[in-house]
Chains A and B, each alone.
Chain A
C-alpha cells in the first residue's frame, strides 16, 4: 500500500500462495520512503509523507479559506459545514474543558490541531496517497511538543515557579512520608511520559491502522491462487471493513489528541488541589 515506486510490493509481482513465494508481510519498511527529491543520506530531502503533509496543510487552509474567507451572516452550505466543525471543537471541546473565558484564547490552536491531525490521518484512505502522515513519529511529535511548550510555559506563567513545581509534582502534604516518592513519580509522569504518550498514542494508532490495511490488501492479492481465492475474498472484505473502521479511528484519534491538549492546558490553568 505504501505507494513507494522503488519498493516492490506484493501485488506488483506474481507472488501468490502455492507459487513458491513467501508472504510479503508489511512491516517497518512500509513506512520508509525513498526521497522524491534530494538525498536520503544527507538531511536535505523531500519524500512522500512530507508532500502529503504540505498538501494536507494546503487542503485544510483551502477548505477554511473557501468557507470562512468571506463569511456571511446567512451562511452558504460550505460555510455551514465548516461552522459546524468549528463549533464542535470550540464548544464541544474547548469550552467544555477550559470554560468559555479561559478557553477562548486557545480555540485557534485546538481547531488548527484537530483539523490538521484529522487531515493527516485521512490521507490513510485517500486513493493514491494511502498513507497516514501521522504514522511517521516526527509529525505527532512536533504537535505534541508544541502542546507541551504551551502548557508548561503557561503553568509557570500562571502559577509562578513554586506553583508550577507543585503542579508538576502533585505536591500534597497529607501524603507524609510517601510524598518524595509521589513527587518523583508525578514529575516523571507529567513532564516526561505525558508528551511522549501524547505523541505515541496518535502515532501508534495510525501506524497500526496502516499496517492492518496493508496486511489485508497484500493478503487479498497473495491468496489469489487456487483454493486461496476464497480466503482472498474474505481478506478483501476485511480490507474494506478496515478502511471504514479507519475512517472512524482517524476522526477519533484527532479528537482524542485535541481533547488531551485541552486537558493539559486546563491543568496548567487550574491550581493543584
Chain B
C-alpha cells in the first residue's frame, strides 16, 4: 500500500506543469464548445431573442404608428371638413347675394311693369271716360230733347241741335261740377 503511494509520489509530476496531450485535449474540448456555441447556437438564440423583442416592441411601435396615422387622418378630415364648411358658407353668401340681386331686379321689373300697367290703365280709363263722356253727352242731349219734346209736345230735336243749346248747357253743368269738386 505505502509502496504504491510512494511510487505514485515519485511519479507525481509538478501539478503546475501540464503534459502536452492534456493541453491538446483541453483545447479540443473547449474548441468544440466554443465552435458550436459561436457558430450556430448563440446566433440561433440571438435571432429568436431579437424576434421576440420585435414582437413585443414591434407591437408597441405598430400601435403607435397606427395611432399617429389615425391622428393624421383625423386632422386631414378636420381640415377637409373646415374647408367644406368654408366653401359652403361662401356659396351660401354668394347665393344670398345673387338672390338679393335677383329679388331687387325682380322688384324693379315688377315696379316698372306695375307702373306700365297703371299708366296703361290710366290711359284706358281716360280714353273710356272721354268716349263715355262723348256718348253720354250725345245721349243726354237726345234724351233731354226727347224729354222736352214730349213735354212741349213737339219735336224740338232738330231745332235744339241746330241751336247748340244743349251743348252749352252741358258745358256749364260740367264747369259747375268742376268748381264744386
Query: Which residues from A are CB-within-8-Å of B41?
Result: 61, 64-65, 67-69
Whole-angstrom distance between the alpha carbons of A31 and B26 in the complex?
16
How near does chain B come to A79, taking the closest CB pair, in angstroms?
Answer: 8
Query: Which residues from A are CB-within-8-Å of B19?
Result: 43, 138
Contact B4 A7 (CB under 8 A): yes
Contact B55 A73 (CB under 8 A): yes
Contact B2 A61 (CB under 8 A): no
Contact A68 B44 (CB under 8 A): yes
Query: Which residues from B are CB-within-8-Å of A72?
Result: 48
B: number of interface residues (CB 8 Å): 39
Contact A24 B5 (CB under 8 A): yes
User: Which chain A residues in 17-55 approach chain B with CB under 8 Å?
Assistant: 21-22, 24, 27-29, 31-32, 43-46, 49-50, 53-54
Contact B38 A108 (CB under 8 A): yes
Whole-angstrom distance between the alpha carbons of A27 and B13 in the complex?
12
Contact A61 B32 (CB under 8 A): yes
User: Which chain B residues in 3-48 approach chain A with CB under 8 Å?
Assistant: 4-5, 8-9, 11-12, 15-23, 25-30, 32-34, 36-38, 41-42, 44-45, 47-48
User: Which chain B residues in 27-75 approach chain A with CB under 8 Å?
Assistant: 27-30, 32-34, 36-38, 41-42, 44-45, 47-49, 51-52, 55
Contact A31 B18 (CB under 8 A): no
The segment from A95-103, A141-149, A246-254 found at the interface with B is A141-149
Contact A27 B18 (CB under 8 A): no
Contact A207 B15 (CB under 8 A): yes
Q: Is A111 an interface residue (CB 8 A)?
A: yes
Whole-angstrom distance between the alpha carbons of A31 and B8 in the complex?
10
| Given A31-B15, A45-B21, A112-B37, residue A71 in contact with residue B48 (CB < 8 A) | yes
Query: Which residues from B are CB-within-8-Å of A28?
Result: 8-9, 12, 15
Known: A28-B15, A31-B15, A65-B41. 5 other contacts (CB 8 A): A24-B1, A46-B21, A68-B48, A111-B37, A142-B27
A residues at B contact (CB < 8 Å): 7-8, 13, 15, 21-22, 24, 27-29, 31-32, 43-46, 49-50, 53-54, 56-58, 60-61, 64-65, 67-73, 79, 82-83, 86, 107-109, 111-113, 115-116, 133, 136-139, 141-143, 146, 200, 203, 207
